[in-house]
Amino acid sequence: MMSITLTAAQQVARQAVTEQISRLVHGVYVYASMLVVLAWTTPFAVDHPRVYWGCAACMASGAAVRLALRLFWERWRGAFLETMLLTAVGLTSAPSGLLYLCSLLYYGFEDWTFTVLLIWTVGGASGSMVSFALTLRLLVLHVVLLLVPALGLGLWQGDTRGITFAIGTMVLVVFLLTQGVWLNRAYLKQLEDRAMEEARLRELELAKAAAEAANVAKSLFLANMSHEIRTPMHVVMGMAQVVLAGELPAESRENVEAIHGASETLLHVLNEILDFSKVEAGKVELERAPIGLRRMLEELRLTVRPLATLKGLPLEWTVEDGVPEHVTGDAVRLRQVLMNLLGNAVKFTAAGAVGLRVAREPGGEALRFTVTDSGIGIPVDKQKLIFEAFAQADGSVTRRFGGTGLGLAISAKLVALMGGSLTVRSEVGKGSEFWFAVCLPESAAASVEVPEQAAARERTGLRLLLAEDNAVSQRVAVALLGKRGHHVTVVANGVAAIAAWEREEFDALLMDNQMPEMGGLEAVREIREREAKLNRRRTPAVMLTASAMRGDRERFLDGGVDGYLAKPFRAEELYAAIAEATAPPGCATQ
């Protein structure tokens, strides 16, 4: 077995030898059939048995060497292998040449015996061009041994026929050898190309494997980084919210609001980086669910309006008549794209107005979303660049306005996933227009629940079990939940959570996932099993976790959890998640 990696040159040499030996073995049949024809159709074997059988024996030993080569050549190296190859050819070519010579000597040009051997010898010499094209030395040896003895005899005979025969044979020898050289070069070149191609392919495969490994490492790194950053950020955001909810002197309130605002920005940046890596890796799959489109657009307007008002910008909001109430698509991603475009429009506009227009494309189901502003505009040469990751039209502007340069890259990819294309038209100093058209088929009704519905059903004074090992996160949750009048029992791991659940009835379980002894998901699974065994009421469980990578939500929901909230979260999101999980059955479709 070859354990080392072969270079292209070594591989060519190895392939040439393998093919050469295989052709040598096939050549054995030619000699065997020549002997049979000679004995059968001519008197040679009877007239000259010693020459005939001597040559036959020699050829048989040549055949044996050829067979041995096929079986053992990989164990033979260098000069020995070379000698064996020459022997294998010599032991068959020399007796062939001798038989040819003898047929001329014993029977002359006009006899059938000579004709038989002439056909065989000249045919064999021409055929050997292919057989020996891989190894020029063998071709020379074969042609010389086969044709030169008879050529010599022709010359020695000296008459017109003899000389003509010798000249003809000489021309044939020269022709065969020059053709052989040419064929040999072509064959070796072809082998070399094949070996190079294979080497390139192997390199590509190695590079692909390395890239895949790097990608796995990147995903792992992102997952860890996300988890590690989210946990302390959750504490910062949560504590700021707790403090802001209480009584504060005006100056302190401003300071805490600054902390809270900065942590929100940080969370936005983190989410954009994670989102971009997911989109880039092709790991985003769009949902196809009913969207209450007009309602979603109204919510969006309410979100953007305060930002625009802050800068004194009126919002020009037009949803044309043909736009359906409900459509099918991915509400979260559509909102994300529009929010990014509107956010940029407000960010890069100092005076004038910002607008959104939604209209049906003429003669189709596609809807066109257009976001306009009268802001700084984008130079023509930067209009393509801004859709690339981390690209910004103007560094100084960025320093002024902030941003990661990822929003448009993500949005463009999401729009492409929806089947559209995000396009910009802009003039420096006058403003910009971003638009895309996507096919969002009209749907009967949106069964999706809007957050306000869940919030409207919110119950207070619930008995909640919180499993969380981080002491500060515990304080954040208890303070936020206390504000809604909930009674919270706190435990620090999954085992204690199960024990508490055994002792008491809870309205809901709030579980962190990564805890010592037993994680949240494992504890919920165990509780689900026990509920089934004991025929106990199902206690809703909400996962409050810093694991926010792709597939985490599904993993938790599949494991028996009813709600999922990624840290850091806003107080309102926590209340909504609890309301949703504890809502009586049937409310969701009201």
Residue 405 sits in the site that holds ligand ADP (CB under 6 A): yes
Residue 292 sits in the site that holds ligand ADP (CB under 6 A): no
Q: What ranges make up the beta strands (E) of 98-150?
A: none
CB 369 → ligand ADP: shortest distance, Å?
14
How many whole angstroms separate alpha carbon 453 and alpha carbon 527?
29
Q: Is 533 left (phi over 0), alpha (psi -120 to 50) or beta?
A: alpha
How many whole angstroms separate alpha carbon 120 and alpha carbon 128?
12
Q: Which two tokens stand for residue 562?
A: 């009813």
Query: Do residues 66 and 131 make contact, with C-beta atoms less than 8 angstroms apart?
Result: no
Q: Which stretch binds ligand ADP (CB under 6 A): 149-157, 237-245, 402-410, 497-505?
A: 402-410
Q: Which stretch binds ligand ADP (CB under 6 A): 184-192, 220-228, 405-413, 468-476?
A: 405-413
CA proximity to 331, closest of 271, 388, 286, 280 = 286
How many whole angstroms separate alpha carbon 467 and alpha carbon 543?
10
Residue 300 sits in the site that holds ligand ADP (CB under 6 A): no
How many whole angstroms separate alpha carbon 118 and alpha carbon 188?
31
Secondary structure class of 78 (helix, strand, coil): helix
- Residue among 398 and 447 whose Cβ is closer to ligand ADP: 398
Residue 63 sits in the site that holds ligand ADP (CB under 6 A): no
CB 299 → ligand ADP: shortest distance, Å?
21
Q: Which stretch binds ligand ADP (CB under 6 A): 90-98, 309-317, 371-379, 437-445?
A: 371-379
Q: Which stretch binds ligand ADP (CB under 6 A): 130-138, 207-215, 393-401, 560-568?
A: 393-401
- Residue among 25 and 397 whose Cβ is closer to ligand ADP: 397
Pairing of the two strands 366-373 and 354-360: antiparallel
Candidates 291, 378, 498, 543: give the one binding ligand ADP (CB under 6 A): 378
Candidates 176, 386, 465, 497: give the one binding ligand ADP (CB under 6 A): 386
Residue 393 sits in the site that holds ligand ADP (CB under 6 A): yes
Cβ-Cβ contacts under 8 Å for 336 (sequence gap 6 or more): 410, 411, 414
Residue 376 sits in the site that holds ligand ADP (CB under 6 A): yes
Judged by CB under 6 A, the number of residues near ligand ADP is 23
Candidates 397, 428, 448, 500: give the one binding ligand ADP (CB under 6 A): 397
Query: Do residues 254 and 243 make contact, with C-beta atoms less than 8 angstroms apart?
Result: no
How many whole angstroms separate alpha carbon 431 and alpha carbon 401?
16
CA proximity to 33, closest of 101, 102, 92 = 92
The per-type count for the chain, helices as H runs and strands as E runs, is 18, 12
Residue 509 sits in the site that holds ligand ADP (CB under 6 A): no
CB 377 → ligand ADP: shortest distance, Å?
6
Q: Which two tokens stand for residue 284?
A: 């985003």
Residue 408 sits in the site that holds ligand ADP (CB under 6 A): yes
**By CB under 6 A, what part of segment 311-340 binds ligand ADP?**
340
Residue 67 sits in the site that holds ligand ADP (CB under 6 A): no
Ordered DSSP codes for 451-483: HHHHHHT--SS-EEEEE---HHHHHHHHHHHHT
Name the amino acid, one letter, at 450. Answer: V
Cis-peptide, bond into residue 568, ω within 30° of zero: yes
Q: Which stretch binds ligand ADP (CB under 6 A): 79-87, 159-167, 394-402, 563-571?
A: 394-402
Residue 348 sits in the site that holds ligand ADP (CB under 6 A): yes
The residue at minimum Cβ distance from ligand ADP is: 403
CB 422 → ligand ADP: shortest distance, Å?
11
Query: Do residues 512 and 545 make contact, with C-beta atoms less than 8 angstroms apart?
Result: yes
Residue 344 sits in the site that holds ligand ADP (CB under 6 A): yes
Candidates 238, 375, 420, 494: give the one binding ligand ADP (CB under 6 A): 375
How many whole angstroms separate alpha carbon 331 and alpha carbon 229?
27
CA proximity to 405, closest of 416, 393, 417 = 393
Residue 154 sits in the site that holds ligand ADP (CB under 6 A): no
Candidates 93, 263, 432, 582: give the one binding ligand ADP (CB under 6 A): 432
Query: Which residues are 290's β-sheet partners?
Result: 328
- Residue among 257 and 394 whose Cβ is closer to ligand ADP: 394
- Residue among 91 and 337 whose Cβ is closer to ligand ADP: 337
Residue 238 sits in the site that holds ligand ADP (CB under 6 A): no
Site residues, ligand ADP (CB under 6 A): 340, 344-345, 348, 373, 375-378, 386, 392-394, 397-398, 403-409, 432
